[in-house]
Amino acid sequence: MRNKIFVRVNSNIRSPEVRLINDNGELIGVKPIQEAIRLAQDAALDLIEVAPNANPPVCRIGNFSKFLYEKTKKSKESRKHRGSGHVKEVRFRMKIGEHDFNVKVDRIVRFLKEHHKVRISFMFFGREMQHRDRGDEMLRKIEEAIKGAGVVEQRPQMYGNRMITILVPHKG
């Protein structure tokens, strides 16, 4: 489904008077709608309503197709930078082999490069609860391994038998 951009142009603007901005972005002032349309036509441009909820509505003199192009380009750009918003989780136990650790770190780096947040869970069972400092050591190893791909957003916190921390991708 495509997002439609609804903008009133020229004679479709219903307000009796508008706050007018010329094609250079300079404020002309409050003008009657007929005079604003005439000024736009004299410049061989369109009268575009940019802020319909203002009192009086704000209109700009400009090329309507160029205005639409820039608006769609801006919305695509904002969607691109918004990221996916998904939080991926990677779970670790305290007893983990070196290769398994490296595989999970590679997965974390891949998620961060895809602009996902990553929740890292360290699970403690039984007597491991007495050695929570090993979870901190493992987190430091992970931070060292992912240098450049992401940063810690939320420091480790304990929830029952789980220590949870959140990583976010670098802004750049």
Asked if the structure places residue 17 within a domain, the reply is yes
Provide the residue count of the chain: 172
Q: What is the pLDDT of residue 5?
A: 64
Residue 47 lies in a domain: yes
Radius of gyration of the chain (CA): 27
Same-domain pairing of 163 and 102: yes
Distance, CA of 47 to CA of 40 (rounded, Å): 6
* pLDDT given at position 85: 64
Residue 162 lies in a domain: yes
> Are 48 and 118 contained in the same domain?
no
Q: Reduced to 3 states, what is the DSSP secondary structure of residue 27?
A: strand
Structural domain includes residue 111: yes
Assess if residue 2 is contained within a domain.
no
Mean pLDDT split into 10-residue runs, the chain, 172 residues = 68 85 86 87 87 87 87 80 75 90 93 89 85 83 86 85 88 68
Asked if residue 132 belongs to a domain, the reply is yes
Do 96 and 149 share a domain, yes or no? yes
Which of 156, 154, 168, 65 shows the shortest CA–CA distance to 116? 168
Residues 161 and 95 placed together within one structural domain of the fold: yes
Shared-domain flag, residues 28 and 101: no
75 and 95 fall within a common domain: no
pLDDT at 95: 86
Same domain, 76 and 16: yes
CATH classification of the domain holding 93: 3.30.110.10
The phi, psi pair for 80, rounded to 5°, reads -65, -40
Residues 53 and 71 in one domain: yes
The pLDDT of residue 82: 65
**18 closest CA partner among 44, 45, 4, 39:** 39
DSSP assignment string, 110-159: HHHHTT-EEEEEEE--GGGGGGTHHHHHHHHHHHHHTTTTEEEEEEEEEE
Residues 99 and 159 in one domain: yes
Expressed as residue numbers, the domain containing 35 is 10-80
CATH of the domain at 47: 3.10.20.80
Domain boundary among 80, 114, 132: 80
The domain boundary, picked from 54, 80, 106, lies at 80
Residue 41 lies in a domain: yes
Residue where one domain finishes, among candidates 60, 80, 100: 80
pTM: 0.52
